[in-house]
Amino acid sequence: VPSETWPLIAVVAVAVALVASLVALMRGRELGRLSAGNNGNRAAPPAVDKPGYFREELLRLADAAEIGLLRVGEHGRIELANETAHGLLARSDGGLLGLSPIGAFVDHRIDELLRQAASLGSPQLELEARADPQRTLLIRARRDEGGTWLIIRDLTELRRLQRIRAEFIDNLSHELRTPLTTVRLLTETLATELERTEVLPPRIRDAIVKIDVESGHLVQMVNELLDLARIEGGEAPLRTDEVDLGTVIDSALERLRLYAERQDVRLHAELPAEAQERTIVGDEERLEQLLINLIHNAVKFSPSDGEVAIRLGPREDEVLIEVEDHGVGIPRADIERIFERFYKVDRARVRGAGGTGLGLAIARHIAERHGGRIWASSEEGTGSTLSVLLPRGPAMHSPIDL
């Protein structure tokens, strides 16, 4: 290479180096900007990472679902509450924060609920809204680390619909009762006439007997519907007094004697001789209704030539009544459910027309209103025993607020 070309090569090399570094610099900037972009995001992290973001999101979500949500911290003060909770508890925005739960709900039972939440999982409480007693609120408490969540639902609409349903059933049964009573009277007259006359063809005779039986069922159904609507609506307060359960059982048996005879079932009672052992404080009429429902079922599900036993046994502070039959029995899967309204095991198993499925729902209400309980034990094909345990003294509390 001629010596005079060296400077030229040097200039070119310097130029190339310059261009290269310039390009590198620009790419660097570009990368820098890109990463600056990312860094920019990282420098202002998404709200998801902000402490409390999830909680705020939860409160908003609960608002959207119209559920009141608030949180009581370890120090026993409300530390979070959504808009719905403020609305339901009639506080202006933020007004719940810092309050004690009693201060917020103005109901001492809320403290008990919070205590239960520590041991019981998810207890709940129904109460009237402070600002508007027409409003019914359901409060559920759930404990977790560092505090307790209170979930508030407005039950006003549900309760209103339940009231409408009860009123509807009540009205309907009243309306049905009058014409049914007339039909009953007429068929009874016809049935008496039947005994006196021989001229009627058997076909008509049968029809009259059937009308008599079926209208009897209808009257029973309507009466049960009416009873249940009243008991559930809290409209039938107990009239308590000293009651001799022996007398009540005798009277129930007397009323069912004819029915049992027709079904060819014998009724048999075992009662303690001592009047004191048979006596409790309760509502005589309701207790008779409970017994009639149990004995009626026992007869209904018994075979011909069957026997139903009613036993009364004193326990320490309680009295146990058992109604035992040797009939079809109750399948294991249904045994818990037979006390639900309208629940029936299987229509096909009943001799003659079935009932409403209300009898045991009513019986359970009556037992529980007396502070007692009712249950069934049974083996399919062998028979059933329905048991009622009633406290001797007046009921300390009733699950239905009257």
366 binds ligand ADP, rule: CB under 6 A? no
Q: Which of 339, 309, 338, 336 is nearest to 325 (CA)?
A: 309
387 binds ligand ADP, rule: CB under 6 A? no
For ligand ADP, which stretch binds (CB under 6 A), given 26-34, 118-126, 179-187, 359-367? 359-367
**C-beta closer to ligand ADP: residue 177 or 344:** 344
- Number of helices (H), then strands (E), belonging to the chain: the values are 11, 12
292 binds ligand ADP, rule: CB under 6 A? no
Instruction: Show the site string, 303-342: x = touches ligand ADP by CB under 6 A, - = not.
Output: ----------------------x-xxxx-------x----
**C-beta closer to ligand ADP: residue 96 or 290:** 290
Q: How big is the site for ligand ADP, counted in residues (CB under 6 A)?
A: 22
Rounded least distance, CB 372 to ligand ADP, Å = 18
Q: Which DSSP string corresponds to 19-33?
A: HHHHHHHHHHHHHHH
Q: Is 221 left (phi over 0), alpha (psi -120 to 50) or beta?
A: alpha
Rounded least distance, CB 330 to ligand ADP, Å = 5
Residue 57 phi, psi dihedral angles, 5° rounding:
-60, -40
344 binds ligand ADP, rule: CB under 6 A? yes
Residue 106 phi, psi dihedral angles, 5° rounding:
50, 50
CB 324 within 8 A of CB 298: yes
232 binds ligand ADP, rule: CB under 6 A? no
Q: Which residue is nearest to ligand ADP (CB)?
A: 355
130 binds ligand ADP, rule: CB under 6 A? no
Instruction: Tell me how far apart the alpha carbons of residues 245 and 225 are, in angstroms, rounded to a whole number.
Output: 25
Instruction: Tell me how far apart the alpha carbons of residues 295 and 308 are, in angstroms, rounded to a whole number.
Output: 8
β-pair type (265-270, 306-314)? parallel
301 binds ligand ADP, rule: CB under 6 A? yes
Helices (H), 75-155: 83-88, 101-105, 109-120
Among 82, 173, 263, 384, binds ligand ADP (CB under 6 A): 384
282 binds ligand ADP, rule: CB under 6 A? no
**C-beta closer to ligand ADP: residue 150 or 290:** 290
What is the DSSP secondary structure assignment for residue 350, as one 8-state letter? S
Binding region for ligand ADP (CB under 6 A): 293, 297-298, 301, 325, 327-330, 338, 343-345, 354-361, 384
